């Protein structure tokens, strides 16, 4: 291998090891750290981030990339060598374009924003949060300008999560989705009482839920020799190479919370476990994009986990585990219950159908904030108006409205679209997988997932971060993100459940 490439990878590996160490510190913070460790942990994380940034942006790295690029241009762009140079360049540019001072100020503003957000939520008073959010919007605009873009300022932010994506593409996709979804949601909303799910609340022993969740994770292919599951307040997944992938879950009165949360994180985990071990610590050791990552979690959570086929196999087991709650509930009733639609105010509690409407609103508002078409002071009212338009109801307070999500408080603008993109891609990939492996539906009914997982491994996981999300989806399905299969899937599913 090219000596300069070796050296670049060596340097990059240190950046990556520091990031992994930070990832473990964060995992620990959310799962095990005693309260007294918080202050010092924040300092440790700041040091690791600083050292990683220093090494990623070192003059040596820049020099190596300059020297490697002509050589890499002569290689097959799909090769490991060409890919690591390409991705390292993207990360190097991203890290060097933002002046250190701006980045430090943004980081401080994000900490202050998060603290103010938590306080404002507690007090139910948006005005506590507003000045910090204003500052964050301003600094985010400066970051976007520093990062650069071709069409629109928001592109620069979008690219942090979806490299190569354009705002105009997201807008077109969301418009198409909105046109299909809104009438469907309204039709279902009128028949909301056709489906009951009260028996899914309360009376489910946590230990049994945990064991059943582990049972499902093993069934779908999550390898506990190369991963584990813990509890945390907010479920998440983090991978340290494919050999150590960690999921978290939580338990709430609603049975579906842990059940589908576990399958969701399990889907993220399968992706991480499917990235080739030899990619670990290199620029291509991570997933292609947030949207593609979300496609994997949504696939296992919704397309598999909320399907009748899946429960045809697993429902008897679940019934046997909770006979006093589910003994008298038949499969169809259970299936309808776990897919019950109810337009609600809170994104993270939203059902499969209304979920995207929450994203449309956030995308619309953050786009306006970043492009200067909306003032922070006007945000709460814009939120209420948007909710009324999309879901027919508005929150009574800002805690259940504009302050419900943590993202903006930490300056994570540009992230939300990935959620909906993930939903769209999940169906596009699932349909392609079934087209090429027609046995998949029957396998799912038998509780066998090797066919589906194998296809995802082959088409998505094994490429790690070599390609952008769009490149990967085109390679896998022959076309870019397409709303049609997703809308078709939702229509068929919910028309049947609600007898439309």
Q: Which residues are catalytic?
A: 265
DSSP secondary structure of 438-493: TTHHHHHHTT--HHHHHHHHHHTGGGTTSS-HHHHHHHHHSSS--HHHHHHHHHHH
Stretch that binds a copy of itself, among 43-51, 353-361, 404-412, 427-435 (CB under 8 A): 43-51
The values of phi and psi at residue 102, to 5°, are -65, -40
The single residue listed with the structure tokens 């890919």 is 83
| 48 binds a copy of itself, rule: CB under 8 A | yes
* Closer by beta carbon to a copy of itself, 281 or else 451: 281
| 274 binds a copy of itself, rule: CB under 8 A | no
Min dist. Cβ of residue 8 to a copy of itself (A): 16
* Closer by beta carbon to a copy of itself, 18 or else 82: 18
| 269 binds a copy of itself, rule: CB under 8 A | no
Min dist. Cβ of residue 30 to a copy of itself (A): 13
Min dist. Cβ of residue 453 to a copy of itself (A): 17
Q: Which of 44, 172, 105, 81 is nearest to 411 (CA)?
A: 105
CB atoms within 10 A of CB 151: 10
DSSP secondary structure of 255-288: HHHHHHHHHHHHHHHHHHHHS-GGGTTSTTSS-S
Mention every residue, 6+ apart, whose C-beta is less than 8 A from residue 316.
Answer: none
Min dist. Cβ of residue 454 to a copy of itself (A): 20
The values of phi and psi at residue 285, to 5°, are -80, -5
The H helix count followed by the E strand count for the chain is: 21, 3
* Closer by beta carbon to a copy of itself, 124 or else 224: 224
Instruction: Please report how the helices 331-338 and 308-321 are oriented relative to each other, as an axis angle in degrees rounded to 10.
Output: 110
Min dist. Cβ of residue 106 to a copy of itself (A): 21
Which residue from 4, 7, 14, 314 is in contact with a copy of itself, where contact means CB under 8 A? 14
Which residue from 32, 60, 203, 218 is in contact with a copy of itself, where contact means CB under 8 A? 32
Which residue from 165, 242, 296, 420 is in contact with a copy of itself, where contact means CB under 8 A? 242
CB atoms within 10 A of CB 277: 12
The values of phi and psi at residue 352, to 5°, are -55, -35
DSSP 410: G
Pairing mode, if any, of strands 227-231 and 237-239?
A: unpaired
Which residue from 2, 4, 51, 236 is in contact with a copy of itself, where contact means CB under 8 A? 51
DSSP secondary structure of 309-322: HHHHHHHHHHHHHS
Min dist. Cβ of residue 79 to a copy of itself (A): 23
Min dist. Cβ of residue 299 to a copy of itself (A): 23
* Closer by beta carbon to a copy of itself, 17 or else 384: 17
Assign residue 350 a region: left if phi > 0, alpha if psi is -120 to 50, beta otherwise?
beta
Q: Which helix (H) or strand (E) holds 238?
A: strand 237-239
Which residue from 2, 30, 37, 191 is in contact with a copy of itself, where contact means CB under 8 A? 37
Count of residues engaged in binding a copy of itself, rule: CB under 8 A? 40
Q: Which two tokens stand for residue 480?
A: 């870019």
> Which residues within the stretch 175-214 sit at the binding site for a copy of itself (CB under 8 A)?
none
| 47 binds a copy of itself, rule: CB under 8 A | yes
| 347 binds a copy of itself, rule: CB under 8 A | no
* Closer by beta carbon to a copy of itself, 21 or else 329: 21
> Which residues within the stretch 374-403 sit at the binding site for a copy of itself (CB under 8 A)?
none
Q: Which of 83, 78, 55, 54 is nearest to 68 (CA)?
A: 83
* Closer by beta carbon to a copy of itself, 247 or else 391: 247
* Closer by beta carbon to a copy of itself, 34 or else 323: 34
Min dist. Cβ of residue 250 to a copy of itself (A): 18
Q: Which two tokens stand for residue 207?
A: 């230990």
Distance CA 5, CA 8 (A): 5
Min dist. Cβ of residue 54 to a copy of itself (A): 10
Distance of CA 469 to the CA centre of its chain: 13
| 36 binds a copy of itself, rule: CB under 8 A | yes
β-bridge partners, 230: 248
Q: Judge contact between 161 and 418, C-beta under 8 A.
A: yes
Task: Show the site string, 212-241: x = touches a copy of itself by CB under 8 A, - = not.
Answer: -----------xxxxxx-x---------xx
* Closer by beta carbon to a copy of itself, 22 or else 497: 22
Stretch that binds a copy of itself, among 36-44, 60-68, 118-126, 257-265 (CB under 8 A): 36-44
| 17 binds a copy of itself, rule: CB under 8 A | yes
Residues near a copy of itself (CB under 8 A) are: 13-14, 17-18, 20-22, 24-25, 28, 32-41, 43-44, 47-48, 50-51, 223-228, 230, 240-244, 280-281
């Amino acid at each position: 291998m090219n000596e300069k490439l070796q050296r670049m990878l060596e340097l990059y590996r240190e950046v990556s090891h520091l990031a992994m160490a930070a990832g473990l510190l964060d995992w620990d913070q959310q799962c095990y750290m005693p309260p007294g460790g918080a202050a010092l942990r924040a300092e440790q994380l700041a040091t690791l981030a600083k050292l990683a940034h220093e090494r990623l942006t070192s003059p040596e790295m820049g020099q190596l990339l300059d020297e490697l690029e002509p050589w890499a241009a002569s290689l097959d762009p799909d090769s490991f060598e060409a890919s690591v140079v390409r991705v390292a360049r993207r990360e190097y540019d991203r890290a060097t374009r933002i002046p250190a001072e701006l980045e430090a100020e943004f980081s401080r503003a994000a900490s202050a924003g998060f603290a103010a957000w938590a306080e404002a939520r507690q007090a139910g008073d948006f005005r506590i949060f507003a000045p910090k959010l204003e500052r964050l919007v301003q600094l985010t605009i400066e970051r976007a300008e520093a990062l650069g873009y071709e069409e629109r300022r928001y592109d620069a932010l979008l690219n942090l999560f979806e490299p190569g994506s354009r705002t105009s593409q997201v807008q077109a996709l969301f418009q198409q989705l909105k046109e299909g979804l809104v009438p469907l949601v309204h039709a279902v909303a009128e028949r909301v009482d056709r489906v009951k799910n009260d028996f899914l609340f309360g009376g489910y022993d946590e230990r049994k839920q945990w064991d059943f969740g582990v049972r499902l994770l093993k069934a779908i292919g999550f390898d506990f020799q190369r991963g584990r599951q813990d509890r945390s307040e907010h479920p998440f997944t983090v991978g340290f190479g494919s050999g150590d992938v960690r999921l978290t879950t939580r338990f709430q009165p609603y049975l579906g919370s842990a059940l589908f949360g576990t399958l969701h994180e399990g889907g993220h985990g399968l992706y991480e476990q499917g990235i080739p071990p030899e990619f670990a610590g290199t620029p291509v050791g991570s997933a292609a994009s947030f949207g593609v990552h979300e496609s994997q979690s949504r696939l296992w959570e919704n397309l598999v986990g909320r399907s009748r086929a899946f429960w045809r196999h697993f429902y008897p087991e679940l019934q046997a585990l909770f006979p006093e709650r589910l003994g008298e509930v038949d499969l169809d009733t259970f299936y309808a219950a776990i897919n019950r639609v109810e337009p609600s105010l809170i994104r993270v509690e939203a059902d499969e159908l209304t979920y995207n409407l929450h994203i449309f609103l956030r995308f619309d508002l953050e786009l306006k904030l970043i492009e200067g078409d909306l003032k922070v002071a006007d945000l709460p009212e814009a939120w209420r108006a948007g909710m009324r338009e999309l879901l027919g109801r508005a929150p009574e307070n800002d805690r259940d409205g504009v302050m419900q999500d943590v993202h903006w408080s930490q300056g994570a603008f540009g992230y939300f679209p990935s959620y909906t993109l993930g939903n769209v891609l999940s169906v596009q990939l699932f349909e392609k997988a079934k087209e090429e492996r027609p046995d998949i539906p029957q396998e799912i009914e038998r509780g066998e997932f090797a066919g589906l997982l194998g296809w995802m491994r082959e088409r998505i996981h094994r490429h790690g971060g070599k390609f952008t999300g769009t490149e990967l989806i085109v390679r896998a399905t022959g076309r870019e993100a397409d709303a049609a299969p997703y809308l078709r899937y939702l229509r068929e599913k919910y028309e049947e459940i609600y007898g439309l």
